Structure 1
Amino acid sequence: MKAVVMNGSGGREMLEHVERPDPVAGPGQALVDIAFAGVNFMDIGVRQGMAWSDTPNPKILGVEGVGRVVAVGGGVEGIAPGQRVAWVYAPGSYAQRIAIPAASLVPVPDAIDDRTAASVMMQGLTASHFATDFYPVQPGDVAFVHAAAGGLGLLLTQIVKLRGGDVIGRVSSDEKVAAASEAGADHVIVDAEGRFAEEALRLTDGEGVHVVYDGSGPKTFQGSLDVLRRSGVFCWYGPVLGGPGPLNIISLPKSIKIGYAVFLDHIHTPELLRARSAQLFDWIREGKLRVRIGGEYPLADAARAHADMESRKTTGKLLLVP
């Protein structure tokens, strides 16, 4: 099979398109022909040495995708050959085939196409976790969503709106305003320098927002603190862009709650994973949730997909086609 592996060392490893032996489904696993693989900032973090550092190179990148089951190993129940499935975290997804724990697979309804299923798993489940578990958005709440035109931001905005909240979105350029607005953002602030707090406070009559979702790294951290109302919640995520550095908690000017959101906590059992995924698929089928595809790339062109994601040339989810 063809796969994309990471090779080299030194903090910016090279991607190579190589031939590898086909994997085999072991006990508890399913062998899947991959139709689409998702591209995520997590994959870039692996290249930067922020994850999978204990796994020696060369290693196959990618964690998310959709495909059709070819075979199953011993002890597998509920997953059968011929079934369409998706997954949210399975290392080695930048490939034509993958052997994956059957407990990590989610059946895909016939009404959901492969592109949509591959696009909604990691970002959709993350957005669901942020708006339902980490901070359960209530009607009338105001949420501030960073990178509101990105794949996660677009889904998060829609889920906040489904729960009755209002959204102030931040985008980095005028070209991205339309995407954030179409997703349902009530207000969109264009800012690439981390100077958004004053406008957000004006939009909330000086009160601030109930929750801020920030995965944009240290540049926006202080502004996100400033934009919160008293007892507001700071949902920080996205370690690829770096943390805020040491924080003197007694220097905070008001009562706020700061936390780090880990999406895997949202789906820590197969039952939860399938229930949450089914909810996302239902929302899509009912027209309540739309997935925006930012671009498709051949598997051999994974490096260009990474470059486009890092430079933020596209909005929405990026996919690789094996």
Structure 2
Amino acid sequence: MSLDTLDKLIMIYQRSGLSVSRFASIIGKDRRTLTSWIDKSVCKDPPKEVLESITRFFRYSERVWDQECDKDEFLALLEHIPQSEIKIIDKGYEGGLEYILEKEYDRRFVIHSRFPGPAYRDKIVTFPYKFGNSPQAVALRKRRCEHILDYGFESVEWYSIESLLHFAFSPIGNFYTTSQKIAVLDLMLKTFEDNYNKSLYFFDSQTTKVSGIDTIYMSINPKAHIMFFKIPIDSLIVEITNKMLVYRIHKHFTTPSSAPKHIPKDDAPKILSILKDCIQEGKDIVHFCKNIKRQTPFLPIFSCNLSVELHHLI
């Protein structure tokens, strides 16, 4: 099935999820002009510079505008990420740390795979793994801690509620002692409370379609149009520089209509404080949830992460 140029522009606009104003700014036209193309009140093909703006911003192949490019090929081209925009960073553990420090030097927006993040862990406990104990690795981890914990460093961090509860209450795969858990929470409270440079979120990974996102370290820099995530094999890192994909992933966590259910940043320190009190008192997860119920409106989002057999106890 063949598509004309205007049909293709409309399909790209609809797939983008962008507002009329934002899309119009990308193509260098006003809202009225774009709207006239979308509703086909004007049937004349958009000028060449508009098409070039679209392919440049979304990193599409120029082939999408060819008359010979039918609907099936067109859709395939929209789905395809150019190989040049995906890179495997294979520099070993130390090289991976250096890469992360470089890419997150100015600021960072991170979805963590587990709670707490490496910087807070390494500040409190001895590095728990058998690899990464070279003098260079130790120095790099220390540098990372100092950089991330600096008051002026801009850091947005997302953790799943499941990983938070696992840290606090699970006896499986948990190398933190009670005193270390308290120290970690103290450190994070000191870092995030009353600091406009830091933002902490806890999201529900159980009832929303974010399966897998909460199991890898993902860092997004929308200003630089780059994101990367760590593969837990041989310290590999996958870097993606597809502008539209980076935008879509970032938008998923920053737009109210699409973000997973979460604890807002202003309330996240309160959750840490309640959790710290429970750990200090030797209380279990049921007691913690009862305190959440008494002191916050967030019990429903925590309940989603508990066994249904515990719900009647809260």
**Fold conserved between structures, TM > 0.5:** no
TM-score, normalising length from structure 2? 0.26
Rg larger in structure:
2
Q: Which has the higher helix share?
A: 2
Q: Which has the higher strand share?
A: 1
TM-score, normalising length from structure 1? 0.25
